[in-house]
Structure 1
Amino acid sequence: MSNWSHPPPNGLSAVSILHSMMTKARRGTLSLPLTGRVFSVVTEEPREPLHWLALLEHELSTNVVIYSRLSPQRLGQHIKLNRIEFKWLSENMDAHALSPSLERIHHAISTRISTDQGIIWVDGVEYLIHRQGFDAFLSFTRSLADELSGTDWTVLLPYSPLSLEPTEIAHLRREAIPFSIPKFGSSEPVAEILDEPQKEPVITEAIAPEIVEHEEPLLIPPTVDKLKLLSTISKASFTPAVLSRRIEQWTDMGFDVSELEYAFHADKETGYSLYQEVEERIRRAVECERRIQMIEIRGHLVEATKMRFRIMQLTGLDSIEARLDELLSGAI
């Protein structure tokens, strides 16, 4: 006989009991990573795990601190900002901005972990490595590990394996043990999950997080079919609305142009100069993609995949162009 054959106890509705069951199920699968440690998180899209962070805050009341290249406006599309602490890794003159240097980030984290407990999420790993070099980032990771020892905090460093060399991944994994973020069956937006339920809930399945030592995820290269050069915006036509539309077009292609958010807050001259710099890098990236397809034909499939990821991040274009010249010249 079904458990629902008799009236629910204490006057609770079936929906209330189901919601309670769902909450317990979620809490049971939201076990936290070990404290006092730095973990690396392999992910093709560093924004997807923000859902998991939102659930940690909501279900377990975990303190969540995020350092992100996303502007507050864009970060707020993934997680409720009034529930977390966050810093925008940008040179922008904004109350939430923090200069994207390893020294500044290290100081901010060291200051924060002196009290309380929680999880610190630092995205833009590839960007930080490009800015200051892999060796500097590895030293940054080691230093953070020393700072975290004995605290109730955990630092998570998400990155894509397509952005790093195999030797770099091996070094990073030694300093920051890989951690697997659970995949939730629910496709509900984060904002809806964070609110108190107003309708009959749906129980979702989740995979409990675990430390992964040897398992590698399936790598899916970025989609490049939609890459194309767009007409240049003239200075006379350069307005916030026009720039917003162009950012949307480039983002739809898969390019990371988050640095252009600064242009909305700068004067027109500075904003237009920044737009021109990004446009030039995109022009080079599109040209690189054409040549990457050529080295694929010659059998350099793995290297082509790594290059393709990096051009979508608009980083390391000089080294990519030099390597393409080398491969296509017939020297290799």
Structure 2
Amino acid sequence: MASLTHLAPAVVDIFRSNHDSPSPEECTFKNGSSYMVKEEKAYFSYKAFTQLASKRNGLIITRIHPPRLKKQYNISGEILWLSTLDADNIIKPNDLNKLGYIINSFIENHCDGCIILLDGIEYLILHDGFEKVLTFISYITDKISQSKAILLIPTSPKALTQKEVTVLERKLETCQ
């Protein structure tokens, strides 16, 4: 991983090794942009989040139990768990309005720039359907584009139809 200490906060270059290719790929994350990070597991997305969150406020919405996530990636910042359970810091997957409100509030409260990781798009699609989730993503990406925030959405292309992947690629910047 490249060190962020010499990079401007608006543009961050992060390198990762691709298991299919021996050469590293570069992902440049810019303020006001939303990214679909294509990966089977969200390892790269969490590493990128950790580096970006060292310079800005971060919010994670995830299917991974928060204590496990904090331990695995040494993450600081706010973590909300996508789950059907009833408890604090849990967002139910079928409550996209609440999730949108939380993300919008986070962006507004950190107008100097923030990083948001939405890990669980496949889970949201399972509970809400692709069309509703696409409408939700459109709303969030519009909010992101009017701010200095960065949105990362790790996505497993194998979990979606080719049509769904293509539609998301048109809506989001792509990092593979």
Query: What TM-score bracket applies, with the shorter chain setting the length?
Result: 0.7 to 0.9
Note the C-alpha offset of 1:36: 1.8
Mapped pair 1:170 → 2:131 = no
2:3 counterpart residue number = 26
Deviation per CA, 1:219-259: give whole Å up to 9, x if none.
Answer: xxxxxxxxxxxxxxxxxxxxxxxxxxxxxxxxxxxxxxxxx
Is contact 1:47-1:78 (8 Å) kept?
no
User: Any unmatched runs of 5+ in structure 2?
Assistant: 14-27
Alignment of 1:131-210 (within 5 A): 131-180=127-176
| Moved beyond 3 Å, runs of 4+ | 28-32
CA distance in 2: counterparts of 1:51 and 1:78, whole angstroms: 10
Counterpart residue identity of residue 84, structure 1: G
For the structure 1 residues 40 and 118, does the alpha-carbon distance in structure 2 shift closer, same or farther, using more than 3 Å as the test? Answer: same
Aligned length: 154
Give the TM-score normalised by the residue count of structure 2: 0.78
TM-score (norm 1): 0.43
The whole-number CA distance in structure 2 between the counterparts of 1:92 and 1:164 is: 25
Looking at secondary structure, tell me which structure has more strand per residue: 2
- For residues 168 and 133 of structure 2, what CA distance do their matches in structure 1 show? 9
Q: Cα RMSD over matched residues?
A: 2.1
Q: Which residue of 1 aligns with 2:33?
A: 37
How far apart, in 2, do the equivalents of 1:178 and 1:48 lie?
A: 13
**1:66 aligned to 40, 60, 72, which one?**
60
Which residue of structure 2 lines up, in the alignment, with residue 96 of structure 1?
Answer: 89
| Percent identity between the two aligned chains | 27
Check conservation: 2:53, 2:115, Cα contact below 8 A: no
Question: Whose RCO is larger (CA < 8 A, sep 6+)?
Answer: 2
- SS of the equivalent of 1:94 reads coil
- Partner deviation per Cα, 1:277-297 (whole Å, 9 max, x = no partner): xxxxxxxxxxxxxxxxxxxxx
Task: For 1:33, give the aligned amino acid.
Answer: F
- CA offsets, 1:95-141, max 9 Å, x none? 22122232221111011111321110001111111111111111111
Structure with bigger gyration radius: 1
8 Å Cα contact 1:141/1:176 also seen in 2: no
Shift of the alpha carbon at 1:171? 0.6
